[in-house]
Structure 1
Amino acid sequence: MALLRARQLPEHTLVICDDQEAKKRVDQVKLELSRCRMADAEAGREPSEETRHAEQDLRDAQAHFDVVAVELTFRALPRPILDGLIKRFPPSEAQAEDGDAWDPERFPAALVAAAHVERDDQGNTVEGMSEEEAQELLDSWPVAESNALFAAAWQAQQIVRTSTVELGKG
């Protein structure tokens, strides 16, 4: 039981990068590296100088991407907390008739705020965003990005870290 109680809650990270050139550069270098590795494999040789150069280019491009990108981390909430959050924002009758399990106008910001994990430069958890800040982001971002923000917080609640071991017969 001690091992089970000591488990960390799963986390999911949303990476946001407004620098289109940085994203494009990473994608281009990945393609070039794939091409180089395929050429090496087809020739049956160890990684070539061109491949090693492409690997360094990828490290550089990824390092730049990491500097310009923003990461938002979300942690799974213990079940009673998530259940309480859902109960705090019940759907209206009309929303429930549409199949909503919670108020789609208010619950997303509450979940984003509750699940958001902010860390300082030393990796220590510090105060994250408030419900008001989460609502501001959800309201001011384009629909696809707003949906991605909520989806990242929800995804953290859906992570399953178990596996089944199947034993052969006999």
Structure 2
Amino acid sequence: MAAARPQDAAWEKKMERLRRRSLPERVLRIYDDAALRETHNEAKRAADRARLLAESDADNGVFAKRAAEAAQRYEAAVEALREASVFLTFRALPRPVLEELLHTHPPTDQQAADGAAFNPDTFPAALIAASSTDGMSEAEARELLDTWSAPDANALWETAWEVQQEARADRATDLAGLGKG
């Protein structure tokens, strides 16, 4: 029996880390109160402006106080919007699962002639349901796609689709400062 080589132990450690990787997730926030969203956005802009002004003159206590107050208003607006929102979370599917889902929703001949890789009438709801970490069924996904406005339905579909495309690996061409570990 051959003796274990030091690089074997290093590889096993690396492989174990690769096996423990989690799949990417994306969250879609849904809110119905546009005024609350605008209050949030304005509070963020005001807090950013006040912070920049305070940073420009660090010795000015008035600017620092205004920045702190604006930051508090922004945090309150964040919390109010969070409380008024519904969050849906989607997780990337393992590659074989996604491929099987694509295979079970092939494009019609006309859709394929138009360049579709899947059936756009059936696949979106199936993908949304399959990637939902909240337990959304395919029927529920179809209901939302069919009853929501086009931008909101598109956001639902795009969140579920985009997480499937999210890469967390790249070819390290410049290893300076990165190490090879």
Same fold (TM over 0.5): yes
| Percent identity of paired positions between Structure 1 and Structure 2 | 40
In structure 1, runs of 5+ residues without a counterpart are 119-127
- Give the aligned partner of residue 109 of structure 1: 125
Would the aligned equivalents of 2:58 and 2:64 in 1 still touch at CA under 8 Å?
Answer: no
The alpha carbon displacement at 1:160 in A equals: 1.2
Q: Which of 90, 94, 100 matches 1:78?
A: 94
The alpha carbon displacement at 1:40 in A equals: 1.5
- Give the aligned partner of residue 124 of structure 1: none
- Give the aligned partner of residue 57 of structure 2: 43
1:143 aligns with 2:144: no
In structure 2, runs of 5+ residues without a counterpart are 1-14, 177-181
Determine the C-alpha separation between the residues in 2 that align with 1:167 and 1:114.
37
- Give the aligned partner of residue 26 of structure 1: 40
Determine the C-alpha separation between the residues in 2 that align with 1:8 and 1:159.
12
The alpha carbon displacement at 1:144 in A equals: 1.4
- Give the aligned partner of residue 61 of structure 1: 77
The alpha carbon displacement at 1:76 in A equals: 0.2
Determine the C-alpha separation between the residues in 2 that align with 1:26 and 1:92.
45
User: The residue matched to 1:117 in structure 2 has which SS?
Assistant: coil
| Counterpart code for 2:168 | R
Deviations 1:103-129 (A, max 9, x none): 0000000000000012xxxxxxxxx01
| Counterpart code for 1:166 | D
Q: Which of 155, 159, 165 matches 2:166?
A: 159
Determine the C-alpha separation between the residues in 2 that align with 1:15 and 1:32.
23
Going from structure 1 to structure 2, the CA distance change for 1:31 and 1:96 (only over 3 Å counts) comes to same
TM-score normalised by length of structure 1: 0.89
| Counterpart code for 1:24 | E
- Give the aligned partner of residue 9 of structure 1: 23
User: The residue matched to 2:29 in structure 1 has which SS?
Assistant: strand
The alpha carbon displacement at 1:165 in A equals: 5.7
TM-score normalised by length of structure 2: 0.83
- Give the aligned partner of residue 9 of structure 2: none
Aligned length: 159
User: The residue matched to 2:87 in structure 1 has which SS?
Assistant: strand
